[in-house]
Amino acid sequence: MGQAKATFKIENWDEQPYAELAGGGKLTRASVKQALSGDIDGEAAVEWLMCYRNDETAEFVGLQHIDGRLGERAGSFVLAQTEGSFDGKEARGRLTVVPDSGTGDLEGLTGTGEFVAPRGGEATLSLDYEQA
């Protein structure tokens, strides 16, 4: 099993509300572009669905398509964000490689990981992976 660590930078964040909730919350959808560097190097496109509470904290789910390199291997793969939360200071979530989403040299990739994105700080992603 391999382990990859990367940092990522938000290059574009386009978030739009699609429903207002009683009590001041809202549901939103965000289309996000990221640049990753480190053991995972490349570009990512993420779609987030978020539920904000009236205190500006949130729960979210999403899919992240990464195109680039994992170590020495080139290709693309999809990470499913199975659960995540934003406590007003940092977003944190768990990730799972979507089965059969790997392309190129990353075909057969499986794995799980997490990301941490503090507001105003360096965002990190770690992934424990195997390749069939």
Q: Fold for domain 2-131?
A: AOC barrel-like (2.40.350)
Every domain of the chain and the residues it spans? 2-131
Whether 123 shows a pLDDT value over 80: the answer reads yes
pLDDT in tens, 74-94: 999 999 977 799 999 999 999
Whether 107 shows a pLDDT value over 80: the answer reads yes
pLDDT in tens, 22-50: 889 999 999 999 999 999 999 999 999 99
Question: Phi, psi (5° rounding) for residue 28?
Answer: -135, 165
pTM of the predicted protein model: 0.92
Nearest to 84 by CA among 129, 37, 131, 32: 32
